[in-house]
Structures are given as C-alpha cells and as structure tokens.
Amino acid sequence: MGFLWLGVSPLAAGAIAEMFGLRWQAMIQGLAFMVHQLGSFLGAYGGGLLYDALGSYTMAWRLAVALGLAGGIVQIAFAFIRPSKRPPTLLCVAQ
C-alpha cells in the first residue's frame, strides 16, 4: 500500500479539471480523496469479515480483482463515450 498509495491522484486531478473545470477542482478532488479512504477502509474490513467467515482470503482476493476489473471497464467505457468537445455555454446579459 505504501508504494502505490495515491498513485491515481494525478490522474483523478486531471480528469476532474477536464470534466468540471478548475473552479470546483479542490472540492471535488477532496470528495474523491475521501471516497478513496472510505473504500480502503471497507475493503480491509470486508476482507477481514470474509477471512473470519471462510478461513481464507481467497474470496476477498477474487472480489477485489473483480471490482478492479469492473472499475477499469467502466473507465474505458467512459473514455470511449465521452463527447469530443464541451457544448457551448450560453451567456446571459443582464439589462
């Protein structure tokens, strides 16, 4: 964990800036960091529960690999269906 910790942070920062702009980057990146920490906790806790119930980490590893592959497929799918450019924004002029 120490070697790979925060390995996706630069990628997440770039994706957030590209999708939402710099105005909301700090807030959304903070939320993404918090969700990463919650997922890490739930993964470790769930692995412990599975070990206590089954006596082996095999099912925990299988679930972790399946979730990782599913997440990768979802990311690749979003990369392919992403629009090539942002839609034009409408400017309202107050009179």
Residue type, 42: L
- Residue carrying structure tokens 């599913």: 70
The two structure tokens encoding residue 53: 């119930």
Q: What is the pLDDT along the chain (95 residues), one digit of tens a residue?
A: 456 666 777 888 888 888 888 888 999 999 988 988 898 899 999 999 999 999 999 999 999 999 989 988 998 888 788 666 665 555 555 55
Q: How far is CA 37 from CA 17, 24, 33, 43, 80, in A?
A: 21, 20, 6, 10, 28
Which H or E run contains 37? helix 25-54
